[in-house]
Amino acid sequence: MKVSKEVWNLFQKHLGYNDEEMKLFRENPRNEDVLSKTNALMNKTIVAEVVESHGCNSQHKVGDKFYFDGAGNLITKLCPKRICIFALSPLQLGIFAANELLYAGTDPNEMRFKRTGCFDVGVKCGGWGHIVMELSVKEREKLDK
């Protein structure tokens, strides 16, 4: 799909690119493909739900949810007040994979390996606690929070 001049200009302003940088950006055909799918992506919310928790120092419990917009930005107003950085960091690969599936026109909820956990191994293995999270992608208006 072709991206309009207005969208290119908006994106240049959004990223703060000068004309030379924007020329480089536009020369990469993948960038136009991604920009052409931005509306579909922005209508999605990526949810990471805690499905197992034991000994978590940050007190994350089963049922806690971390919400991200389609671009992978944490939507803090929908999340618990405290969020462990060690819970967030392993989510980056799953969110990246969900984005790539969306760009490819595939349902990201069909991802085979959609669970991840914090890297703390739990008390039985010499750590403190551990949580497991499962990713899903929802339509923006179908959030249950």
Are residues 49 and 29 both part of a single domain? Answer: no
Average pLDDT, the chain: 92
Are residues 128 and 61 both part of a single domain? Answer: yes
Q: How far is CA 85 from CA 10, 58, 116, 121, 143, in A?
A: 32, 10, 14, 15, 24
Are residues 102 and 49 both part of a single domain? Answer: yes
Question: Domain of 30?
Answer: 5-36
- pLDDT recorded at residue 144: 54
- pLDDT recorded at residue 143: 60
pLDDT 10s digits, 5-19: 999 999 999 999 999
For residue 67, what pLDDT band results from cuts at 50, 70 and 90?
very high
Adjacent-strand bridge partners of 47: 67, 136
- pLDDT recorded at residue 38: 81
Are residues 78 and 57 both part of a single domain? Answer: yes
Question: What is the model's pTM?
Answer: 0.86
pLDDT at 142 over 90: no
Are residues 29 and 65 both part of a single domain? Answer: no
Tokens of 7: 């969208």
> What is the count of structural domains for the chain?
2
